Structure 1
Amino acid sequence: LLGTGMTQFAITIWAWQTTGIATTLALVGFFTAVPQILTSPLAGAIVDRYDRKHVMILSDLAAGIATIAFLILYSGGHLQVWHLYVISAFSGAFGAFQFPAYSATVSTMLSKEQYGRASGMIALAEAASGIVAPISAGILLNVIGIEGIMAIDILTFIVAIGALLMTYIPQPHLEETAKAERGSIWEDSVFGFKYIFKRPGLLGLLTVFLLLNFILSFSFTLFAPMILARTGERANSGL
């Protein structure tokens, strides 16, 4: 979370300095979100079928490859705006597998009594990284540059993958009858939608979240361009 947040901050600075257009930053978010939306239904079904540790490692590995691609293109002076769109789409597609695999792993490793505490700790970690990552990137940007920040991000992926390799993650046991009755990946993906639409309360809650996120996305998209436009040359130093 921390390394990725720092890289996203640095890339935002670079994109703004290169184009000075808010649309560029919005399109980066667009090309990240669309692949996630398209692959998320399949991601849940795939996580249920395959080793969750391997799924998380693959997701982290893909994100690390995306950062390496950024680093190579930037260091060689070849990084262009359209590269951001392509790499963001690649990272977003594989990132869709991370959350369901991680959530399912937490529920497998902990008892039901510990779910609330674990959820709180996860939320705390996400919020803390959202605060620390931009501050750290802003300080380090003028010291080690974008290349250094990306190198830190790559290092965090190596640490994360190493931690996953050393951690025992139990897999849910399915009886042979359950395996035989299980449908295809596509059928399992559609089942999630059927489950939601049959429960009006859950559907209403998700609709509220959808509308809220849709409205807030306008503000979130404009925050970075507004701040960078007002700071002017200070953005070059990451302040």
Structure 2
Amino acid sequence: MNPADHLMGNWKKNIIFFLTSQTISLFGSSIVQYAIFWYITLATQSGAMMTIYIICGFIPTFILSPLSGVWADRYNRKLLIILSDAMIALVTLMLAVVFLMGYDAIWLLFVISAVRAVGTGIQTPAVGAVLPQIVPKKMLTKVNGINGSLQSLITLLSPMVSAALLTTASIEMIFFVDVITAVVAILILLVFFHVQVHEKASKKQITSYFNDMKQGLSYIRTHGFLKRFFLFFAIFFVLIAPAAFLTPLQVSRSFGSEVWRLTAIEVAYSVGMILGGGIIASWRGFANKVHTMVFSSLVMGACTFALGTIPVFWIYLLFMAVFGVVMPIFNTPATVLLQEKVEENYLGRIFGVFGMISTSMMPIGMLVFGPIADVIKIEWLLVGTGFLIFVLGIFLGRSKVLLKAGSPA
């Protein structure tokens, strides 16, 4: 039997180990990310410092994504995932030791944020590209939906765990949580997770990094559905920025600044995402994946519009939860569409470009909508962007090229 066929035959066991490893690693990283964020907030009480921290966690991923996509196609993807986890763990361990020695300068936290962003930038295209190697195509939606639910559960739990740890332990001890979870995740991948090296990585590389990047961009240009896909997502991520970032400010201005209200909207959204991941994993969406994306984008547009008009907080929470439900129903078929339609040797580069768009467009949207929110009511921004998201969904449903790409093979 071909080794690849044997691995695909044992795919359920293999994917359980892979998702377990990724969940453990992400949980530890998320706990530490929240702990650093709150530590800087409490230590500095400075909006400028928080902005620097956010920029340090965003810029490296944005810059590195195209190059890391090339790496994910040139090299062993499993090894890239392990090395990026190991790099983050090693730097976090070094930071913990430095803090324990009494040198706890805030700038070190900016450095660790940037290094962690580099690790994420390396890992994300590799993870997106490795899944089609180990999961049968007909099961990709189910697996991505389950993975989305696990990530949403982490988003819900990690702030609570991080807050509890921050009140009972020092920041240095919390750093060790990430080191331990990374070691466990790496051991699982090394011992239990098996995947064949994909074709391009198994051969001697005869082209340069730059030529590989050019070939990836050429691949996008010659596949019309990818150009439209990325254009749609770039506009979409800009338009959802107010709903993603400005709703806590809206709630504090319009409903009250009590902490429980801000917590409630985060919980409603996270619980909705967990449910949404379960729904798309079991339902798997319409036969045409673009129809599922159209449906969910129309619902998100309607929910965003409603968030700008609803005067009752409990109803507001309901729409926030629905928004959370449809987000994985939108994201999962989009990811699977790329995994199914893009040739295996180009998957890393395509996911690199996708990662660059997804990490940059919402911050760019905030550069536009953030200052406007101090001049115009946030409710009006939500109404306007909600309407535009709805219209964008209609245009998506009328794109013959994307509908053809989304149709079942």
TM-score class, shorter: 0.7 to 0.9
Segment drifting more, 149-158 vs 208-217:
208-217
Give the counterpart of 1:169 among 183, 195, 199: 195
Q: Does 1:5 align with 2:40?
A: no
- In the superposition, relative to structure 1, how do residues 220 and 16 fare at CA in structure 2: closer, same or farther (>3 Å)? farther
Q: TM-score, normalised by structure 2?
A: 0.50
Mean CA deviation greater in 180-189 or 121-130: 180-189
**Structure with larger RCO (C-alpha < 8 A, sep 6+):** 1
C-alpha contact 2:73 2:201 (8 A) present in aligned 1: no
Q: CA deviation at 1:123?
A: 0.6
Q: Corresponding residue for 1:151?
A: 176
Aligned AA for 1:55? L
Deviations 1:31-66 (A, max 9, x none): 121111111101111111111111111100111123
CA contact (8 A) 1:196 1:202 kept: no
C-alpha separation in 1, matches of 2:161 and 2:201: 49
Deviation for aligned residue 1:230: 7.5
Unaligned runs of 5+ residues in structure 2 are 1-25, 260-409
CA-based RMSD of the aligned residues comes to: 2.8
Q: In structure 1, how many angstroms separate the alpha carbons of the residues matched to 2:201 and 2:28?
A: 40
Q: Of 150, 154, 157, which aligns to 1:129?
A: 154
Identity across the alignment (%): 25
Report which of the two structures shows the higher radius of gyration computed on alpha carbons. Answer: 2
Instruction: Measure the CA separation in 2 of the matches of 1:221 and 1:42.
Output: 35
Number of residue pairs the alignment of both structures matches = 225
Within the candidate set 204, 210, 228, 1:186 is matched to: 210
| Contact 1:55–1:101 (Cα < 8 Å) also in 2 | yes
Whether 1:212 aligns to 2:239 is yes
How much has 1:222 moved relative to structure 2? 7.5
- Other-structure match for 1:56: 81
Going from structure 1 to structure 2, the CA distance change for 1:222 and 1:190 (only over 3 Å counts) comes to farther
Q: Answer yes or no: is the 8 Å Cα contact 1:5–1:133 preserved in 2.
A: yes
Q: 1:29 Cα deviation (Å)?
A: 1.6
Q: Aligned partners of 2:237, 2:216: CA distance in 1, in Å?
A: 17
More moved, 164-173 vs 197-206: 197-206
Aligned position for 2:320: none
3-state secondary structure, aligned to 1:96: helix
User: What residue is the counterpart of 1:110 in the other structure?
Assistant: 135
Q: State whether residues 77 and 197 of structure 2, in contact with CA within 8 Å, keep that contact through their aligned partners in structure 1.
A: yes
Equivalences for 1:73-92 in 2 at 5 Å? 73-92=98-117
The answer to which of 139-148 and 77-86 deviates more is 139-148
The structure-2 alpha-carbon separation of the partners of 1:222 and 1:100, relative to structure 1 and needing over 3 Å to count, comes to farther
